[in-house]
Amino acid sequence: MNDNNVSGRVQSELANLESAHGVRVLYACESGSRAWGFASRDSDYDVRFLYVHRRDWYLSVENHRDVIEMEIHDNLDISGWELRKALRLLKKSNPPLLEWLRSPIVYAQDEMFVAGFRELATAYYSPQRCFAHYLHMASGQARQYLKGDTVRLKKYLYVLRPLLACRWIERGLGQVPVRFDELAYGVVDNNIHVLLALAELVTLKMEGDELDEDRRVDVLDEFINSELQRLRLALPPDEAPLEVEPLNRFFQAHCAAA
């Protein structure tokens, strides 16, 4: 499936969702391995989007579902967050949401909305909260998947990416880049053995299938274990939450325009 066909299918599915749910899609992008730059031959297309309902949908005493999800079909995994939910998560500096906004693959966008949302993302970015999120993710993935004599190749990458993200944040380099190669070469420094192992791992992942397994990689195991121990001691304290009024004004403006 070529990129043009995928983009056309995604835009068609988003248009169907808008009609079926009475919403307006404000932004849609690729997330996961295709955005990170190490998709396998059979990786799904992980499409994530933000949407807003018409104003009357919000004038209710009852809470409504704030997520739209489609069943995975023909390698398309599509799901989205309602705007108010997204803004609440933005207030917490939610790393997946921040990554969506910086995805290199964008399927649809309201340019005025995206410009304003990215400004808010910069204002509400919390290195401490993102660090804690990525460290928790790396620790959990390592504990669950990096055991036994063989491992699924992609699980190494899913541990290493948040681990390197912690390094990036620790060095005060700003928001974590989406592309794995930029992240790795930015913080692995001159550890040529780790860099070579990472390059080989990415090549194997991209040339193989999602479920391929292989023997353990000692140099990566040593790096992961030592970094997890070090980073746990470097975990910074949480920050006080920022005021909510700028988020309220942004929500009201885009809700009124829906």
Write the secondary structure of 48-70 as one string of H (helix), E (strand) and C (coil). EEEEEECHHHHCCCCCCCCEEEC
Residue 85: the pLDDT is 97
Residue 8: the pLDDT is 94
Count of residues in the chain? 258
Q: Please list the ranges in the chain whose pLDDT falls under 50.
A: none
